[in-house]
Structure 1
Amino acid sequence: MKLFNTISLILSLFLLSVICSAETTIPGQIIKMDQGRSYGLMVGDIIEHQYLIAIDTDYSLSPSSLPVEGELTYWLDLNSVNMSSEQRGGKTLYHLTLRYQTFYAPLDVRALLIPDQQLVFTDSSNQRFEITLPEWHFTMSPIKEVVSSGIGNDDGSNGFMKADIAPRTHSLSRYQTPIIIYAGLLILCLLIWSALTGLLPKFNTSPFHVAKRHIKRIRRQKNMTSEQVQRGMQAMHDAFNARASHTVFAAQIDDFIKQYPQFNACRTQIEDFFQQSRNVFFFDEEPKPNLLTDCIRLCDRLAAADKVVQSKP
């Protein structure tokens, strides 16, 4: 009977302690923590710690308890402290981000420590509640070996030198066909452009085509003078001379047409041209305003007739 009473008393005390602990729950805690990897860090690396803290809305964070940016030790700086908060239900969520930078340069792998820090929260009655950011252990690695592997050479620094990376060759076979096609099109376009602008030599081309281009260049000039008109007429004479392979005068028109009967349909225009040429060159008459236009039309007719004959086998 006494044993039963003892067990009942123990159970009662246990239930009472559970009830009391439930009634005195803590107002806040760290519900999420991310401190990154704790190994392989080197001099100059950034260390970022993130915390998510939930606390009753009755409590608010004391700003003076936040870590102060700046130099913490000779090898560790606190670069930034970012804090934001939001309300969620009956809790206030604090997002805290701490960014450290380490300047420790170890000669071998070393274990280091960022100490714990206290955050203070107070309510309206100035009752304090503290949350501890836990200390963080991590290891740092050296950026070079202590003893050079090239020791004993003429220059110890050669031990750290690595061979140059060999250049990679890329196959250009898939570009070969497009390049050939585009190059061929470019050459063809250049040839066509050169032919249209008269830069290519004209094989088996009527000399009247050459005279026409020369006269058209003269006619495009502004404020034409008598000398310019005479140069255009001289280009026409040069075409007749080139076709006959000798100098053609007005008295030799019949012989010229007899030698080249394809021009017989243009006899009247040829005679008119030679008559106007005689008046301009020998009698100093003022040329007609449309003289060069008439010469261009005559060149077209003579070149067309000349082409028909030249194309015959």
Structure 2
Amino acid sequence: MSVAAGPAVVSQPTVQQPRAFGHLLGDILTQRILLSAGDHDAGSMAPPSVGRTDEWLERRPARFETDADGRRWMVIDYQIVNVAPTLTRIALPALTLTSASGATLQVAEWPLSIGPMTQVDAFDAGDLQLMRPDRQAPALPTAPLRRQASFALGLLLLTLLSWAGWWRWRNWHESARLPFARAWRQMRRLDPPNADTSADAWLCLHRALNETAGHVVHAGSLPSLFARAPYLQPLRTQLEQFYQQSTERFFTPAPALAPYPLRGLCRALYRAEQRHQR
């Protein structure tokens, strides 16, 4: 023998609704539904689904609260997620809440109004215009930056001038002190076509070699030159050719002189001397 189940109990709960007017985009509307009070107890109610309910509202997850009198409330938040172009009537949706015991609570929809963030039409009077230009960013004080840039530029210029002055002094000092530096300075004063054939150019280079070796140098005494100035060793072949050409030029009657790159040899000797000194 079975007993037929009785009809589900449907009741209208006590609901605390949000204010019905004055809402804008982003506002949170809170609805509180009483679940138990005195002899009435709706038991464990399943909360409604979350997400968008229409084009205006999004329902957030429900939560449960107990007030100071021991009553249980279901609290549901709705957020306005769309902009109303004019004052618009919407509504919190109706709900049907069911408990595990079969009790059902019916919550009617709650009408309310939402408004636009601002008027569609501006007043077009005075400074009340439809469009306003972008606000200009405040100008930063540039005087300290200009002073710093000028100071840095001055230091850079001073550094470059100091370096250029030191470079010129070093070259002048070397040209006054080093034999091949003096020879190269004198060689550059001659016209390029005459530098390789001028007797003064050949004698100038002879003097620089003699001063470097500390004695008069000839083809047979080149080893003593390289012993005193080993940095000239890579130019041994060119120096041997130089002394061979010099002997023919100065000690052979009516010599048949072949072209010889005297200027290039002097420059090579000067650079070797520079590398050695540094």
Q: TM-score range by the shorter chain?
A: 0.3 to 0.5
Q: TM-score, normalised by structure 2?
A: 0.38
